[in-house]
Chain A
Amino acid sequence: MSKKKRILFVCATGIATSTVVEEKVCNYLRSQGIDFEADQRNVGSVPSIGNDFDLIVATTQIPYEVNAPVISGLSILTGLGADETLQKIKDILAK
């Protein structure tokens, strides 16, 4: 029985860059046939909910300790190195 992976998208305000990154990542994961759930918040929410997720993709620094791996979403915003980042995300979720 596989549990659906949960991804948290984080940016400073929770509405701007995190949404752009979320769309791109979610489209990619869907195209790869990966089952997941996504949520999107501002960085201030991380301490209270960060540990409920399997992966955090952030376009801001996260100055908190979390158990989940944190990946920078910057490359997805700029396109530079986006492919590698998307692959990394896929690999983490496959664990």
Chain B
Amino acid sequence: MKVSINAEAVKCNLDVSTQDELVRSLSNSLVRTGFVKADYPDHVLSREEKYPTGLPFDGFGIAIPHTNPEYVHKPTIAVATLAKPLVFRVMGSPNETVDVSLVFMLALDDGHTHLEFLQKVIKLAQEREKVQQLFSAPNDEELFHLVSAYLSEGAL
């Protein structure tokens, strides 16, 4: 399955202080290149409020903000490692929070492909060494290559 990751939507050591800044920064190129609708970032943020997507893994946190298919033209994901951890509420336990330093912002359409995306993202997050590699990426391009490689690897 071809995973389409927009290279401009991969940011290494992104320095943001709020979820708003994070989502808008990652959404910019996706809106511009026609992957998502202009109001996609607003919907991602409001969905995050209602259904938080913070996930605590072993020693780090990730978040998978996303919204409903109707705001997406073409499925893709934006990825960021954060310069400083951002607080997210935990999925299913909104009274808990987690410090997030790796974000996969998903633009899911209704097809079956998005599930494979999600499964691969989850699987990737479970592999500590790979996640460390992502955190150590020196620049956007390197991060893009790593993420593309990891997400297109093998069957689940």
A contacts, CB < 8 Å to B: 12-13, 15-17, 19-20, 23, 58-61, 72-74, 77-80
**Are A16 and B108 touching (Cβ within 8 A)?**
yes
- For B, the interface residue count at a CB cutoff of 8 angstroms equals 24
Interfacial chain A residues near B68, Cβ < 8 Å: 13
- Interfacial chain B residues near A80, Cβ < 8 Å: 56-58
Contact residues in A for B122 (Cβ distance below 8 Å): 20, 77-78
Ordered by A's residue number, 27 sampled pairs between the chains whose C-beta atoms are within 8 Å are A12-B51, A16-B66, A16-B114, A16-B118, A19-B115, A20-B115, A20-B122, A58-B92, A59-B91, A59-B92, A60-B51, A60-B91, A61-B93, A72-B92, A72-B93, A73-B92, A74-B91, A74-B93, A77-B55, A77-B122, A78-B57, A78-B122, A78-B125, A78-B126, A79-B126, A80-B56, A80-B58
Please give, as numbers and ranges, the residues of chain A lying within 8 Å of B58 by CB-CB distance.
80
Residue B138 lies at the interface, judged by CB distance under 8 Å to chain A:
no
Contact B92 A60 (CB under 8 A): yes
Tell me which of B47, B94, B110, B126 contacts A61 (CB under 8 A): B94
Given the interface pairs A16-B108, A20-B118, A60-B51, the reply to whether A79 lies near B92 with Cβ below 8 Å is no
User: How many whole Å from B108's CB to the nearest CB in chain A?
Assistant: 7
A3 to B129, CA, bound (A): 44
Q: Residues of A contacting B50 with CB < 8 Å?
A: 12
With known contacts A20-B122, A61-B94, A74–B114 Cβ distance under 8 A:
no
